[in-house]
Structure 1
Amino acid sequence: MQIEKKFYNEKHRPYYICAPGYTRTSNGVRAMHLLCHYLNKLGEEAYVFSPETNPKLRTPYLTPDIVERHKTTKLSPIVVYPEVVHGNPLNASAVVRYILNHPGLLGGPKDYPSSDMLVFWHQDYVDFAKYSDPSYVFIPSIDTGVFNNDDNHHDADRHLTLVYPGRYKHAEREFPELFKDSTVITYDWPQSHEELAALLRQGKVVYTFANSAIISEALLCGCPVVIKETVYSKKPEERAGVALGLALPGVTFEDTPEAIAAAHAKTLEYQQVYHQYQLDLLNQLEIFIDRSQKLPQSAMNEVVCPSFHAAAAPSAEEASYDAWIARHALKPAAAQLHAERMVHSWGGQPHFIILMPVTSDRWPDAIKSINALKQQLYKHWQLIFVADFDEPSAVFQYSDVLGWLRIDNVRDANQLTQAYAAVLGALPSDWIGILPVGAELEPQALLSLGDHAALYPEWQAIYSDSDVIAADGKRSQPSFKPDFNLDLLRGFDYVGPGVWLRNEALQDVGAFAEAPGADGYDALLRVHDRYGAAVIGHISDMLLHLPAPCCGCMIVMARRSSATSQTCCCICRRRRSPPRRLRWSARWRPTCRARGSTPASSRARFQARAASATRRRRVPSFPSWRRMQGTVPILPLASRRCWQA
């Protein structure tokens, strides 16, 4: 495509394109990089954030020196986000949203601030009730030098039936007949565009389940396309109708020989349509530049680029922990042993449910948790989000592993407790855990939990060691926990978030009822009261990584007990005062079992003494008698081993 324009626009503001690293398999990523490329060819100044670029494109990497130069010259940049980005993480005063798919379909927000400029890839993605005068930039991202049907000696004898599942993971389950005698194209195969084009030139039909670049690639190679109706290939229900972006020459929604033959006859027509797309692009880019340059700008360039801050040299403690992580990383032999025990020693395959409360502003952290769970070696799990907003993607309506529970206010601890109780009684499961949003599990975490549950069938609750993971993936603050220690647990919740409890035990002890805001802590103590200490197991392995902003409210509050009040760092974000201690005498300490008393009798006597003390003086109420802290000192977490070793 030949573009002619003056090369320098010194008064124009630069463009920062928030694009991931270049990949050939994603049409959206290619579109973001091509936008940067064409803006530069038009004489604008545009950069991408990722150093992973295509050397054939003019997509310079944004460096700290460039940002400082723009600040010095008082040039306020225009930041371009794809539709999947929540909020304005770079703090830009001028924001452009490039809508490359239906808003909210792939996990991004459904609505955007009125101050943002919206640019749509195609009119299918426009809700005209909200946006009456939309702008379009349709960038033809297919290399016609590779994808074409020129001199194709297979054209008269096409024999391959091709299937491309793409992002639709249930394709083979819902359309098994398509996969029986077909060649399946994946993200990883074929490995190059040239190999894919050679395959498409032999294809008599391509089946796909979403709007993706392979549609254009197939049509340019003379191969007709059949689109199966899925959540990714139809418009949202509130804007139902024909998806014009898929109503292309050579495309059919009918899987019949007649329809496929008719589509094949129109593939040549699509090549002419694609050429017109290339001609229209220049005018669309001119309009885009004119409108975006008029966006408001602040007096100073206040764009925040976190990746530009040079990483400080790790301390000796951090370096030591990094070395410990490397030494204790999962080895293939250990994973194989887990797998062999699962096959030969487990009595069955337990089902794990993870409950995760989330607010709309923490959804990017939730995506990190989802991505970590997708890496699990053990696949029998389900992640249930508890939120006070609608699911951000239609994927939740069709997924087997992702669930969504809507409540009125996710910051209301009572509502959260009721939601947990509802899941406990409604969904079949073997183990349930409550994790904070942004928490990540090691790939072998659930496999290890299942392995230990099979080795120790008497265990009703299991917890592991944990550390803190930063936004950049850096791990720190390891918490090597001791085996179950009741006195230490009564001092403070050293187990923290991430305790796994057997479903039957939770129902037996009546958990998720009386301790809003401390559901896991309460449930663990209830299990101990009913079954004893022997049923609470500890896995001495670093299986859980907690998000840096939230390391467990109970622990944070205990360690900051000197403050008069503090803000809960977790989902509830309520103002709280540190719990006052209610001391009891040595004879009323819960050690009565050693003197022949039962836990029930000691509990009853303790409640009587606590009630008497309450009548004599005002004492802060707790969810139950177990949360009243005694003379057990709050100590640092005890460890059976030292990670420096």
Structure 2
Amino acid sequence: MSKVKKFVIFSPPYNEKWGGVVVLHKLCHLLNELGHDAKIYPHYEQFVMDKVNFFHTLKLFFKVELKYLIKKLIKGFETNPHLNTPVIKPSKDYQVDDDCVVIYSEIVLGNPLNAKNVVRWLLHQPGFHYGQIMYNPGELLFKFNSAINDFEFPGSKTSTQELKVIHYPLEHYNLNEVPVEKKGIAYCIRKGKHKKLVHNPTNATLIDNLPHKEVAKILKKSKQFISYDTYTAYSIFAVLCGCESIVIPDEGTSEIEWYPKETDRYGLAYGFDNIEKAKLTAHLVKEHIIQEEKSSLMNVKKSVDEINQFFFDKN
């Protein structure tokens, strides 16, 4: 019998445009599907403040956190109605039980819920977003997939089991109503803001911050999709819509280092020189991600087994 009683996932409100948020909510859903008691605790920003960066941090607080709070007051905490994701109402008296496991993504600083048992889910390279890593000894870390670099934190354990959870909106991204002749270029920047544009944006369509329905329409018309974000799922969505999907490489990172597993590279050209090679595996992408989505439940089950061993089977 499972020894962990409850899970709390520290997550922002559901937003279909942000893959990390989508999988946090999907993880909560899958844990409930497995019979566990899993809930979402609304994410709030953490700030490191000292006498050197006091005013900068204060400015950041007003820019980021207050904007989020105002939006939350107006719209409430959004969830996906198709997922089983109960939400905990935050309060100053809220406490995490000792038989509960709290799951934080890699961007969360410290242990804001003061939980005894902490799982850190590395959805991106630690420190990528904010340049800071503030974890604690005694945590259990899971990498999302093979793209995450090997990472160790003193006093904690990084599992060899990948916690890969997939949620692809195939109702939008498919070959339905794709024209015989596709033209033009679509592109995204997202987390690739540091990269120089290598295409002419004048006659190209930027998809950043558009809803899935609109993005799918654009991709179905476009011949090529260029992503400056090395690890966005939109590169896969483009393949599903019949695009040549090109990822602008990270400097100093080889194709194998980018995605060590060949199946994770299906249909994707790492740079313009690899387009023809990517076409050879494009037909394998849909079946691969369908199988990956089916595997998500098993990945969660295996991770729960390791969570039990790490936190509750020590004696």
Q: Deviations over 1:371-415 (max 9, x none)?
A: xxxxxxxxxxxxxxxxxxxxxxxxxxxxxxxxxxxxxxxxxxxxx
Q: Judge conservation of contact 2:184–2:203 (CA < 8 Å) in 1.
A: no
**2:27 counterpart residue number:** 35
- The structure having more radius of gyration, on CA atoms, is 1
Q: What is the Cα deviation at residue 242 of structure 1?
A: 4.3
Q: Judge conservation of contact 2:240–2:285 (CA < 8 Å) in 1.
A: yes
Match of 1:152 among 168, 174, 177: 177
Q: Judge conservation of contact 1:205–1:225 (CA < 8 Å) in 2.
A: yes
Q: Judge conservation of contact 1:86–1:108 (CA < 8 Å) in 2.
A: no
TM-score of the superposition, structure 1-length normalised?
0.39
Unaligned runs of 5+ in 2: 43-76
Q: Does 1:186 align with 2:202?
A: no
Which one-letter code corresponds to 2:36 in the other structure?
Answer: E
Q: Judge conservation of contact 1:122–1:138 (CA < 8 Å) in 2.
A: yes
Q: Does 1:280 align with 2:272?
A: no
1:135 partner SS? coil
Structure 1 CA distance, aligned partners of 2:233 and 2:79?
Answer: 19
Structure 2 CA distance, aligned partners of 1:10 and 1:110?
Answer: 31
Structure 2 CA distance, aligned partners of 1:13 and 1:108?
Answer: 34
Q: Deviations over 1:344-373 (max 9, x none)?
A: xxxxxxxxxxxxxxxxxxxxxxxxxxxxxx
Q: Does 1:23 align with 2:15?
A: yes
Q: What is the Cα deviation at residue 296 of structure 1?
A: 3.7
Q: Judge conservation of contact 2:9–2:38 (CA < 8 Å) in 1.
A: yes
Q: What is the Cα deviation at residue 58 of structure 1?
A: 0.8
Higher RCO, 1 or 2 (CA under 8 Å, sep at least 6)?
2
Distance 1:26 1:62, change over 3 A: same
Match of 1:63 among 80, 89, 102: 89
Q: What is the Cα deviation at residue 245 of structure 1?
A: 6.4
**1:217 counterpart residue number:** 237
Match of 2:136 among 113, 117, 120: 113
Structure 2 CA distance, aligned partners of 1:229 and 1:161?
Answer: 18
Q: Judge conservation of contact 2:186–2:204 (CA < 8 Å) in 1.
A: yes
Match of 2:248 among 228, 231, 234: 228
**2:282 counterpart residue number:** 267
Percent identity of the aligned residues? 24
Distance 1:136 1:83, change over 3 A: same
Unaligned runs of 5+ in 1: 1-8, 298-645
Structure 1 CA distance, aligned partners of 2:151 and 2:122?
Answer: 14
**1:201 counterpart residue number:** 220
**2:106 counterpart residue number:** 83
Structure 1 CA distance, aligned partners of 2:258 and 2:247?
Answer: 13
Distance 1:295 1:35, change over 3 A: same
**1:97 counterpart residue number:** 120
Q: Judge conservation of contact 2:109–2:134 (CA < 8 Å) in 1.
A: no
2:147 partner SS? helix
Q: Does 1:168 align with 2:192?
A: yes
Q: Judge conservation of contact 1:13–1:75 (CA < 8 Å) in 2.
A: no
Which one-letter code corresponds to 1:255 in the other structure?
Answer: F
Q: Deviations over 1:519-562 (max 9, x none)?
A: xxxxxxxxxxxxxxxxxxxxxxxxxxxxxxxxxxxxxxxxxxxx
Structure 1 CA distance, aligned partners of 2:3 and 2:247?
Answer: 47
RMSD of aligned residue pairs (Cα, Å): 2.9
Q: Does 1:252 align with 2:269?
A: yes
Q: Judge conservation of contact 2:266–2:284 (CA < 8 Å) in 1.
A: yes
TM-score of the superposition, structure 2-length normalised?
0.76
Counterparts in 2 of 1:491-502, with a 5 A limit? none
Structure 1 CA distance, aligned partners of 2:114 and 2:308?
Answer: 17
Q: Judge conservation of contact 1:118–1:134 (CA < 8 Å) in 2.
A: no
Which one-letter code corresponds to 1:282 in the other structure?
Answer: L
Distance 1:106 1:234, change over 3 A: farther
Distance 1:144 1:267, change over 3 A: same
Q: Judge conservation of contact 1:84–1:108 (CA < 8 Å) in 2.
A: no
Counterparts in 2 of 1:361-376, with a 5 A limit? none
Q: What is the Cα deviation at residue 280 of structure 1?
A: 2.2
Counterparts in 2 of 1:350-365, with a 5 A limit? none
